[in-house]
């Protein structure tokens, strides 16, 4: 029996009524075609028309109209704090590392080299585990990088 297929993606805030969800890491939330399994045990084929960076709160629509919510998985991260967060964010971005930017902290994937660099710049780094939703690219969602206007 073929798997149910999801060919439509609804962005967060543009849908309602999910009955099930998938929990995906930052890396897993970048896909075009992949078999996924919901928390409730339903296996389905995500078959999007193009590669997409999925955000926490987006939803797949199955062919029968059911919606499957996308949730960000807890991941091993570094919480970066310090007196000059814009400067620290610049150095993280200069190394093309995904970064979740918040008013009082930055979150990045655990990386010893980046940790040493940031601490050398005066940052405090603390290991944490929580969902990771880094900033998307300037020209598209997530890691989609298109320069077309």
Counting Cβ atoms within 10 Å, is residue 47 exposed (0-12), middle (13-18) or buried (19+)?
middle
Which residues in the chain land under pLDDT 70?
Answer: 137-149
- Which of 121, 133, 122, 28 minimizes the C-alpha distance to 77? 133
Q: Is 74-131 in the same CATH topology as 5-72?
A: no
Helix axis angle for 112-120 and 85-94, nearest 10°, is 140
Instruction: Quote the pLDDT of residue 1.
Output: 80
Instruction: Quote the pLDDT of residue 138.
Output: 59
Q: Which listed CATH number (3.20.20.10, 2.60.260.20, 3.20.20.70, 1.10.3720.10) goes with 5-72? A: 2.60.260.20
Question: Rg (Cα) of the chain, in Å, rounded?
Answer: 17
Superfamily of domain 74-131: UreE, C-terminal domain (3.30.70.790)
Instruction: Quote the pLDDT of residue 68.
Output: 97
- Which of 111, 106, 103, 123 minimizes the C-alpha distance to 76? 111
Q: Could you tell me the end-to-end alpha-carbon distance of the chain, in angstroms, rounded to an integer?
A: 42
Instruction: Quote the pLDDT of residue 19.
Output: 81
């Amino acid at each position: 029996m073929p798997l149910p297929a999801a060919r439509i993606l609804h962005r967060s805030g543009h849908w309602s009524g999910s009955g099930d969800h998938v929990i995906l890491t930052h890396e897993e939330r970048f896909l075009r075609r992949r078999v996924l399994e919901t928390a409730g045990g339903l296996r389905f084929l995500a078959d999007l028309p193009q590669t997409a960076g999925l955000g926490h709160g987006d939803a797949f629509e199955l062919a029968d109209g059911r919606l499957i919510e996308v949730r960000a998985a807890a991941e091993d991260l570094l919480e970066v704090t310090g007196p000059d967060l814009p400067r620290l964010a610049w150095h993280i971005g200069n190394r093309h590392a995904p970064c979740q930017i918040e008013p009082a902290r930055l979150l990045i994937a655990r990386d010893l080299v980046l940790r040493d660099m940031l601490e050398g710049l005066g940052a405090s780094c603390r290991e944490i585990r929580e969902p990771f939703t880094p900033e998307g690219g300037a020209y598209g969602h997530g890691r989609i990088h298109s320069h077309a206007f």
